[in-house]
Every structure is written in C-alpha cells, then in structure tokens.
Amino acid sequence: MALHFELVTPAKLVRSEEVHMVVVPGGEGDFGVLQGHAPVMSTIRDGALMVYKTEGAVPEEIQVRGGFAEVSDKGLTVLAESVIG
Amino acid sequence: MASLKELKGRINSVKSTQKITKAKQMVAAAKLRRAQAAAEAARPYGVKMAEVMGSLASKISVSDSSPKLIAGTGKDQIHLLVVANSDKGLCGAFNSNIVRAAKARAEELKADGKTVLFYLIGRKGRAPIMRDWPKSILHHFDTTDVRDPGYAEAERIVAELVALYEQGKFDKAHLFFSKFKNALTQEPTEQQIIPVPAPKVAAVGGSGAAVEYEPDEDEVLVELLPRYLKTQIFGALLENMASEQGASMTAMDNATRNAGDLINKLTIQYNRSRQAAITTELIEIIAGAEAL
C-alpha cells in the first residue's frame, strides 16, 4: 500500500506522488508516516524529510524550512516555507 | 490653421509616443504570462493552507486565551487599511481603482467615528492617499528595489504588521488589492486580514476523525496564523502583479490605437494644408502671369 505524499511551498507544488514512507522532522521529534497513519497535524522544524519510495529503499532527503505536516485520510501533506535544493 | 512644420512636428511626436506605448504593451503581455504562471504555481499552497486553517478553526473554539491574531484585541477602534499598489504607472486605472476603494472605505469608517490608518505597499498609492489623509499614513512599504514582489516581501510585510498589531497600533486590518479576473477586468477587492477570519471552507472531507495535534492545538495555531497571513498577503501581491500587467496591457493597447487614429487625422490635415498651400501658390502665379 502506498502513501500519498504532497510537498507544497508558496512557489510551487514540489512533489505529489505515491511513496512507501516519509520520515518528517516534527517539532517534537521525527516521526515516520506510513499509509493509514492516524490523522496528525504537526509543526516541523528545519531539517530533512526522508522519503522512502519503496520498503527498504535508500531514502531521498529533502531539506525543508519551516512549516507544517498534516496527515489525513488522504495522505501526508507537508507545507514548507521553502525547500532547499 | 497650424503651419505645415508644426503639423509635421506633432505627427512625429505622436508617432514616437505610439512606439513607447506599443513597446510597453508587448512588455506587459510577456510579463502578464509570467505573473499568471506565478499565481498559478502559488495556488496549491494557498488552497492547502486554507484547508488546514479551516480544519483547525473548526476544532478549536475562539476564547480570550486564543492568540490575539484570531481573537482580536477586543476593540474595534483603530482600523488599518493595507493598500497594495504597483510601483509603476502606465497601467490605466489600476492604481486609482484600488485607491478609490480604499478611500471609500476610509470615509465610511471615519463616518462611524473610527480611526483610520494606512499601510501602503508600492509607490503609486502614496501620493493620492497622502493628499486626502496626510496624517494617517502609518508606514510605507517600499517595493521599488525588488523586481517581482514575492514571498520574501510578504514575509517582511507580515512581520511588520504583526509587530504593529502587538504594539496595539491598530485593532483591525483590511487588505486592498486588485483581483485578477482576466486581462481586461481587474476587480479592486477588500479583505479583512487581522483578526484572521476563519476560512469558510470548513474542514474539507472532515471525516470526524480525531486529529492529533503536535505539540498541541494552541501552539500549532500560534505557528499557523502568521503563516496563513503570509500566504494571504503573498496571494494578494501575486494577484496584484498579474492585474497590473493585465491593466497595463489593455491601457497600452488602447493608447496605441488612439495614437494611430490621431496620426491618421493629423496626416489628413497635413496633406490638406499642403495641397491648399500649393493651390494658393499656383493661383498667385497664374494671377501674376495674367496681370502682365
């Protein structure tokens, strides 16, 4: 099962894809989001999102600055002020 | 009747004006495409932000302990009008429409006995507002040194606004900008920004599932509000930019056409007077020859 992951910044929609898991640098600590995660709304601190395309794959790092992560039944949405790289 | 030389001069001057307006029209058309693309690219973020804000707002109840940005100061005395204009002219009634809307609102508020203050973004709104409300301009945010006002500017504007708000300089803020409908129509729009009105889109797909807030609702809200405000201002700046270029394009198109008409009229007049002059000369010569 795949998790729908969206990464949005004011400049553009950076990502919208199906992934296996994303590790989010939450305001109170990192947390991994898999498909079917309970709804959460969290602040994020500056850091790297780890995107696992498939189980056991080498994660892709996306550096984000400031924003929010929202997990709903539709998937994970990260609203970041800016994305580096 | 103007002399031939004078007419020639006028034709030339109108021609060079036409060249300028034509160039400006083409520049505006190119910029409009870019501004529209930028506005489109920013839309997902704004929509998401409103969604998140809506779902959060539906879950918390506004009380006195809520952040001031959403609960208000408890007063309704000082109104701040944030007026976003452009830095450049040559765009028809674009700026004056926004200013007119803001002034109308200001008069209304004044009639209600409220204090009105202005926060200006962009250069073109300054002079006309200065004329009527010389003492009410709280701050002027200068955007002349940036080519395309973007998120960084929105961030700075919001930081300043929030700082002023915290100092108790105003109780309510309204934002004036021009909404982009299409290249021909731009609509001056007013929007309340502080206190933040809860978005009407109540929790899209609100499944009723209990959402976990981390760290907790209030802290998330405190973080979210300024960001939400930023997206609002950012959206307004982008809309304004697209509107400016659209208005400029239409205005310059009209100006170019008018200049063309004027050139035609002047050319006909020029040719007529030239012919009249030739005819008079001939008559004089013939009359002179006959007299001999």
What would the pLDDT profile of A21-41 be if each residue is shown by its tens digit? 999 998 888 889 998 888 888
CA distance A79 to A68: 5
pLDDT in tens, B139-198: 888 887 777 778 888 889 999 999 999 888 899 999 999 988 888 888 999 988 888 886
Residue A58 class from Cβ within 10 Å (0-12 exposed, 13-18 middle, 19+ buried)?
exposed
Residue, of B199 and A5, whose pLDDT is higher: A5
May I ask the CATH class of domain B35-250? alpha beta
- Give the position of tokens 């200049």: B259
DSSP label at residue B199: P
Q: Which residues contact B23 (CB under 8 A, 6 or more apart)?
A: none
What ipTM score was computed for the predicted complex, to two decimals? 0.81
* Out of B41, B207, B211, closest to residue A12 by CB: B41
Task: Answer whether A72 touches B (CB < 8 Å).
Answer: yes
Range of the domain at A51: 3-79
Q: What angle do the packed helices B151-166 and B217-291 form, to 10 degrees? A: 120
Cβ separation B42–A10 shorter than 8 A: yes
Cβ separation A43–B212 shorter than 8 A: no
Task: Answer whether A79 touches B (CB < 8 Å).
Answer: yes
* Out of B41, B49, B224, closest to residue A11 by CB: B41
Residue A85 lies in a domain: no
Mean pLDDT for chain B overall: 87
Residue A11 lies in a domain: yes
Where in chain A does DSSP place strands (E)? 3-8, 13-19, 21-26, 29-34, 40-44, 47-52, 60-72, 75-84
Alpha helices in chain B (DSSP H): 4-57, 68-71, 94-111, 126-132, 151-166, 217-291
Residue B210: per-residue pLDDT: 66
Considering its fold, how many domains does chain A have in total? 1
Strand partners, A31: A24
Q: Which residues of B touch A28 (CB under 8 A)?
A: 214-215
Residue A34 lies in a domain: yes
Residue B59 class from Cβ within 10 Å (0-12 exposed, 13-18 middle, 19+ buried)?
middle
pLDDT above 70: residue B201: no
Chain B nearest CA to A28, separation (Å): 7
What pTM was computed for the model? 0.83
CA distance B38 to A12: 8
- Give the position of tokens 């979210």: B224
Is the backbone peptide bond immediately before B195 cis, with ω within 30 degrees of 0?
yes
Question: One-letter amino acid identity for B175?
Answer: L
Q: Which residues of B are catalytic?
A: 91
Picking from A35, A34, A30, A36, the residue whose alpha carbon sits closest to that of residue A49 is A30
Task: Answer whether A41 touches B (CB < 8 Å).
Answer: yes
Strand partners, B120: B83, B140
CA distance B38 to B173: 26
pLDDT above 90: residue B256: yes
Cβ separation B52–A68 shorter than 8 A: yes
Q: Are B24 and B90 in contact (CB under 8 A)?
A: yes
Picking from B202, B198, B195, B192, the residue whose alpha carbon sits closest to that of residue B51 is B202
Q: Which two tokens stand for residue B159?
A: 């930081």
Residue B204: per-residue pLDDT: 47
* Residue A16: closest C-alpha in chain B: B44
Residue A84 lies in a domain: no
A51: domain CATH number is 2.60.15.10
* Out of B45, B211, B230, closest to residue A8 by CB: B45
pLDDT above 60: residue B205: no
pLDDT above 90: residue B138: no
Residue A43 lies in a domain: yes
Task: Answer whether A18 touches B (CB < 8 Å).
Answer: no
Cβ separation B214–A43 shorter than 8 A: yes
Q: Which residues of B touch A42 (CB under 8 A)?
A: 213-214, 220
CA distance A11 to A19: 23
Q: Give residue B105's pLDDT band: very low, low, confident or very high (50, 70, 90).
A: very high
CB pairs below 8 Å between A and B: how many?
Answer: 81
pLDDT above 70: residue B91: yes
Cβ separation B234–A10 shorter than 8 A: yes
